[in-house]
Structure formats: structure tokens, C-alpha cells
Amino acid sequence: MLALDLGEPVDELSRSLWAANERLAFESLHDSFVRSTADGSLSRESYSHYQQQDWQYLQVYADAYEAACAQASGDSESLAVLEGLYKGVREEQRLQLASLKRQGLEVSDTSTQTAATRAYTDFLTSVTAEGLIPLLTAMAPCIRLYGFLGARLKAAYPHAKHDFSEWVSTYSSPAYLAEPIKHERLLARLHQGPPTARMQTLYTRAMQLEAQFFQAQPHQAPAPRPVGLLISDFDDTMVKGETTVAIFEAALAHASEDGPGMTKQQRRAKWDELVASYIQERAALLQMLLPEEPLLQPFKMQDGGFNCEKTHCKPTYQATAGVGGRVNLAWRLKSGSMQTRWSAKGPTVHRWCPLEHWSDLGALLEADIGIVMGGNSTLARVAAAAGITIQPLITAPRTEAPPPGTLFQTGSWWEVAAFAAPAKRPPPGASAPAQANSTRNEVPTSTSGLESRGAARAQGEAQPASGVAQAGAHPQVPTVLTVAGSDSGGGAGIQADLKTFQARGVFGTSAIAALTAQNTRGVAGVHVPPADFLTAQMDAVLEDMDVHAVKTGMLPTVQAVHAVADAVQRHKVTALVVDPVLVASSGHSLADSDVAHVIVDRLLPLATVVTPNLAEAAALLGDSSPIQSLRGMEAAARRLHQLGARCLLVKGGHLASRGDAHEAVDVLFDGSTMQHLSAPRVDSRNTHGTGCTLAAAIAAELAKGLPAAEAVRAAKEYLSAALRSSADLQIGKGAHGPLNHGYATNRWGGGPSKRIDLRVYGVTDAASNAKLGRSNADAVSAAARGGMTIVQLREKLANGGNFLEEARAVIAAARPHGVPVIINDRVDVAMAAGADGVHVGQDDLPVALVRQLMGPHTILGVSCKTVEQARRAEADGADYLGVGAVFATPTKDSRVIGYEGLQAVCQATALPVVAIGGLNAQNAADAIHAGAQGIAVVRDIFANSDAASATQQLRAVVDQAIAKLS
């Protein structure tokens, strides 16, 4: 018999997260790739492909544990657990690599990742910067799911010996099953109480990506045969609504017809008589079935009251035994509402009917697939006496009839759903989608979804599997349609949307509502095509492709708005992002005066997300006065929601009255929760098309499966990174230049790594500055005036919030002098403050991971002592190296490498090197002669009351040494 709790969480926090995603766990368990791995029918090619993809995922998973170790460095207890888990993943990776080498295979590099693998690794990498608890939450489903799969499959195939049985043995071993418990208990210790909404979102997303990872493996199982299922729910009680109770109530109603004058006491006596008769017959039957066992305890029937309404059914109950050495138990109920034929043949399940107890075994054996839900001791003994085999449901054959006398057992209705309607796999040669559409995030909380799903299939409706839209034999690619105006300058409109779609990993299509003659200086003219041609464009796309989201931008006429609304309704578009573009950033009107109220009437009720700026929000509401405060933004969001929009993002980038000049704040309202979404302001002229880009990115994330609020956050992060990366672009002669939408792959001149000047690298010393009665920002400003070329903000004792404020102040002091600001160690602070870069040591986050998090344009420095460390940092994406300590220093306990060590590293790498440790005006020239491009200085600048003069002297020495070399 199956142990129903195998491989599931033990602590309350993780049980809560797991329970909300049990459907996805069973979906993975019943994936044909997983089943075929467990029973040995998988092809070697498919398994090898899986191993290669899994090895790449494990690499990122191990990096995530390493990042968690860095974040828990001050907590020795947590650190010990994390280090043990990290070693476990590395051992798992070693075993995987050894298996591949035995097959003569090499591990593929990341360029050969499937979309599903990349989606999962990108997700995990992106969560690293959120902190330890979110990171552990996002990692938990992987380690738990593999334990769940291993334990369930080992119980189902305990004696299997084949090429892949080692996989099951590994993940069902006591050593492995202890790992998820360690992880989950650590998470529960760090987070007291129920899971937050963010934790639930991360956990569910990871479970979705796990299921998609298995679906993406190249395995095509034989088509399952049509079957009908009969499911019997076993326990040791009878409650109202179950079959036997229904029979009793029907009999009681029938008796009431014979004696309409029955009192409540008489009905109670009749009920007791029926119960007593049932218990007596049940005991006699069990005595016949199990003559060697003592009489069982009386059966308990719970009486929660009963219904005496008249019915038109006349029940008879029959129980016989010993036919052909098998239990042959059945009951018959003549009724129009309850079927006597339990399974109807069809493509999948047509209906299921819950029975209750061991007397249903005969009917179960007659079904195509008989499923026992739960179990009790009586069932086990009766089944054994009758020669009935009960096996885990995962072993139920899908292409042939089960062996005679075999039933299957589960403890979850979600497993029944996974068995009855397994997720469809992509065709051979195609990859599963990197992310699913929005229905993938809907996690049912009851079994009602199973009933409606079965009913829909019974009527022949096409149902998406696992929330992924199906398109026959075609692989799923998230697809978005933009309906907007064309910008001949390429910065906004259709052009910006399509660039954003490509950057966010979705396929972009377009319907052009207007053609504009514009550039960075402004709009010179607008041409509007006929509305029927706009309709023809939309229909051409929507009738041919599976479009997962539509985004609207410039709709210049009332006719265009009506055309879009009609198309959205006609094609049943489920995700619509409305960017109500009414005025260009140059001030040129882009829509007729009456367009705004038609957008309100026709598009807002259809919209998933609406993204007005302050002026557009006022126009939609018909207000003549502008919005001038956060409170006004909130009020506008509420009023627009009342007009029909589901989710409002009121953009506050142009809000002039905000006291915090460092932050741009948007307001997000979904009808129940009002959120303020802030991001550091980016000082840049290149802001043309930011509204189009944001709305397009939201549509892309909706198409990939994120719920609205998460899609908005992801889109804002993308836009902020694009703004930072585009700050130095010089395209066009006007006031508003375009963005580099593809900043992650295309570095267009002037990027930070192209202008790193390491000559005088100042490292702040908060304690020294405090003794001198000045702030870090004041000292940095003075040093910058004296010729400091780059500064690192080092704050070992400040917490996150204080460090962030300090970083912003130092950035504000340094930027007017053109001095880049580097944050020591803290990637999160660097990203939040909009710093120019980050510097990490050998014990901090992995360099490759930091590069992924920070993007290609930020400066990334790495501390090194050896040639090997330098070469690894260079390969992982470092922009410069801090090499030393050259001399002993009071600010840091570090092994001294001297000039020889410095020179060895400088000669071994092409990266620029700044010498660190004990450098000053007296020895700076020797460091330059050894190959360094500059010196890092702490006390000689920031412990000097005249930081400007001290820096000026250092700069002169360094410049003179460099001049001699040249």
C-alpha cells in the first residue's frame, strides 16, 4: 500500500506553500518523461538530453546556494546549513557529470539551453538580489519536488532495475530526503509565521517552471487509450452526501410515502433501524470474507441530520461474496440522477462518481481504471483476502488494460486530475514554452476545477493542458500584438514596442493605427489609415496566431478605438494593456479631442492593465486641473478603476512636487490594494518612448504568464535598466533621445566599462570622516575636486536602508565631477541606488552571477591575489581587478603579495588593474611600474582633513609615473 505522505514537507510553513501547489507536483509526477524514467521505458537519448539540461540548472542552483551563504554570512547557524546544502548540490552535479562522461558526452554550454531551462535559471538568478528569504523560497520547490518524485516512484517501483533506476534511487535515498527538510526548516526559522504573498508567488512560479522543465524534455509517449475512471473514497465514517447515506435517506423517504403521518421520532427510529440493519449485514459479510479474524469494531455512522424530502428512487442493496475467489460486491440504485453504468467510454474521463467503502470493490474492478481514494485497515484485509492487488496510481498503464484484479490508489484528487488529463507535451524537436500564459498562475483551492475540467472534456471542448495554450502540434511561443502608431525616428510607438518584445523574449506582431513623421525633435506630421484597414491588420494576426496579449498605444481617432475594442471582443483577447497615448513627449497632440472618453467607454472595461501618465489620467477622467501629488494619483487610480479597468498604473515620472528628487514613484491599484512602486531616477535626456516601452514590457510579461502586479514590476525593472544603460547615448539632435532597448546584448559606445579610469581609486572611510566632522559625501566631493578618478563606497557596518541613503548621497556628490561610484560588496544597494558599478571579493557573490544581475553596462570590479583568480574573474565578466594587498594595511586583514605578485597578475590579464593595500604617494610609482593602472587609497585621502589637496598630490605622482612608462 502506498504511503500517502511520502516526500512531502514536514513543517507548517512549507506545508502551506506545498499544499497550494500540489496540483503542479502531481502534474510533474505524471509527466510521461518522469513516468518513463521510473519504469525504464525512456530512450537513452532523451535521458542524456535531460542530464545535460539538468547539469546546467544545477550549476545555477549551486550558485544560488553560494549567494545565500554570502547573504547569511553573519548567521553561523544558517551558514552551516547552507554550506551543507551547497555541498550536496555540488555532489549531485558531480554524479551527473560522471554519468555523462561514461556515455561519452560533454556538458553543453548555456547557449544550448532549452527555453524551459533558461526560463528557470533566469528566474532563479533574478531572485538572488531580493534577499535570503525570497531566494530560499524560490529554491525550495526544486529540492522538495525531486524528493517527492523520488519517494513516490520508489514506492511504486521498489524493485526496478534498469538504466535509469539510479535516478529514482538517488532522489529517494534517506540522505537526499533529508536535504529538503534542512532547507525548509531553515526557511521556517528565518521566516516566522505564514508565507507572504511574495513567497507564495515565488514558490508557485518555481513549481510551474519545474513542470515545464520536465515537459520540455524530448520524449513522446504513446497515445493513451480512452478510459473511464471509477473512484471510491475510503474512510471509516459515513457522512451526509455519501452514497450509503443517500440510500438510507431514499429508503426513509420511501417509508414516509407509505406512512405520511410519521413523526420526527418515528423517522428517527426508522433511521436507527436502517443503520442497525446495515451494521449487522456488514459485520456478517466481513465475517464471511475474513473468517480467521476476530469480529471488527462496529462501523461508526456520523449523523449530521438527514433530508426527508420525497424522492422517486426505490433502492435495493445487495452484497454477495466468494464468486470466483473474488469479492463481488455491488449496489444498485434506480434513479434518474445516479447512473448504474459508472464509466462511459470516451477520449478521457466523462464522469466520476464518489463511492465510499470496501463494498464498492466489485464495481471498481469492472471499471477501466478503478481508483481507491485513501484507504483503511478493513480495505487492506478485504482486498488481500479477495486476491485484489492495490498499486500506486502512478503505475496505472495508459496504453493497455491493467492486469486482472488490480486497483490503483492515491490520496489526492489532484493526482487523479494529473492522471486523467496529463499536460500535453510539445511535439518532437520542439521545446516547451519558457513560461506559460496567465492561467498557469491560477492555483485552485478545491477539487471543483477537476469536475468542470472533466465535464468540459465530456462535451468535446478543447482544454489547455496545465494552463498552457495549445496550438495543435506547434511549439508555444509567447506572442504579443501591438496596435499603435509608427515612429519614423524609431524611438517610440510600434518600433519601441517591437524592440521591447524582442528584448523580453516574446514574439512581436503589429497593426499600425497611424504613421507619424517624427524624430528626436518632435512630430512633423501624422497620417491615419482607414479604420477598416486597421481592422484587417488585427484580424490577419489574431486569426492566424495564438496571441497571448495585446498592447495598444496611439489610437488617433474614435474610429480606431472602436475598431480595436471590436477586435478584442471578437477574438476573445484575454490580456489587454492600454497605454492611452494622447500627447507626444514633445507636446504634439496625437489623438482627436474626443478619443479619451471613447477609450474610457470601450477599452477600459476590457483592459487588464492601463498605464496613463499624469496628463493622460486627467484627460481620461475629464479633469482640467493637473494631478500634482501622490494622493491625487491614488484618487485618479480609484476613479479609473471604477470606470472598468482591472489594474491601474498611474505613472508619476513627471510629478514635480515630490520632495525626494532621487525617486520616481508610480501608483498601482487593482481594486483592493494600492501600491507605491518606486525606482531611482535616472538623469538622462534619452527618455523618448519610455511610456511605450513600459506598456510593451508589461504586455510581454503577461504573455509569459505573470499576473498583472508581477508583470508591472518586471517591466519597471527592465525600463530602469534600459534608462541607465542609455544615459550616455547620443542619437539625434533633439531634446529627447531614444533608449537602447537591447542593452543586454548590444553595448553602444560610451558604456562604463569603456571609460574606467583607475588612476586614483578612492575607498571611503566613514570612521575617519566622522572624526573630521564631515560626511562621506562631503569628503568624496572634495576628493573629486582634487582629481580622484573613481570612488568605492565601503560601509561594512551600515544596514541596507542606511547604506542606500549613503550611496545616493555619495552618487549625488560624485556625478557632477564625472567620478563613477562603485559600491563595495552590496549588489542590491548598487542596483537600488543606480550606482555605476559594484566591487566584489572572492568570498562574495560569484562574479558571473553579479554580471547577470547588474547587466553589461555597469562596472564590475573583483579583488584578486593570484593569476588563477584573475583569469577566472576575467572570464566571468569583470571590468577591472583590484590586486593585493601589495603591502600590509590597517583597514583590512589580507595576505600580502608584494610587487612580484602584483606584476604576475598584471602580466596574466588584459583587464586594467588597480593596486590595493598600503599604497600612498611614496610607493605609488612602483605599483604603476609593476603594471597597475592606478592605486586604491583609503586613509591618505579620507583621513586627511584636506582631502582635495591630498588627492591632488596622489594624482600628480600617478600621472608622472604613467607618463614615464609611455
- The radius of gyration of the chain from alpha carbons, rounded to an integer in Å, stands at 34
Residue 351 has which C-alpha cell? Answer: 464522469
Cα first-last separation, the chain: 81
- Per annotation, catalytic residue among 378, 395, 479, 690: 690
Closest-CA residue to 348 (of 462, 425, 442, 436): 462
d(CA 261, CA 436): 62
Cα–Cα distances in angstroms (integers) from residue 378 to residues 289, 390, 393, 409, in the given order: 11, 13, 20, 15
What is the rounded CA–CA span in Å between residue 418 and residue 664?
46
The yes-or-no answer on residue 892 being catalytic is no
Instruction: Mention every residue, 6+ apart, whose C-beta is less than 8 A from residue 451.
Output: none
Of 421, 407, 452, 418, which is closest to residue 348 (Cα–Cα)? 421
Dist CA 343 CA 415 (whole Å): 19
Told to judge if 345 belongs to the known catalytic residues of this protein, a careful annotator would answer no
Residue with cell 555532489: 91
Catalytic site residue from 154, 651, 704, 716: 651
Strand partners, 821: 791
For every residue of 164-180, DSSP letters joined together read: THHHHHHHHSHHHHHHH
Q: What distance in Å separates the CA atoms of residue 234 and residue 357, rounded to the nearest whole number?
A: 5
557 neighbors 531 (Cβ within 8 angstroms): yes
Output the nine-digit C-alpha cell for 491.
Answer: 524611438
User: Which of the following is catalytic: 228, 370, 689, 934?
Assistant: 689
* Nearest CA-CA partner of 229 in 345, 331, 326, 328: 345
Q: Distance between CA 372 and CA 416 in Å, rounded?
A: 10
User: Is 751 known to be catalytic?
Assistant: no
Q: Are 548 and 480 in contact (CB under 8 A)?
A: yes
Clarify whether 651 is annotated catalytic. Answer: yes
Q: How far is CA 951 from CA 767, 792, 965, in A?
A: 18, 15, 21
Retrieve residue 811's grid coordinates.
552618487
Of 467, 491, 508, 691, the catalytic one is: 691
- Which residues 6+ apart lie within 8 Å of 441 measured at CB? 204, 205, 208, 467, 705, 706, 707
Residue 777: is the preceding peptide bond cis (ω within 30°)?
no
Strand-pairing partners, residue 376, are none
Task: Choose the catalytic residue: 311, 516, 687, 889.
Answer: 687
Q: Of these residues, 647, 692, 864, 906, which one is catalytic? A: 692
Helix (H, G, I), strand (E, B) or coil at 391: strand
- What are the residue numbers of the active site? 651, 687, 689-692
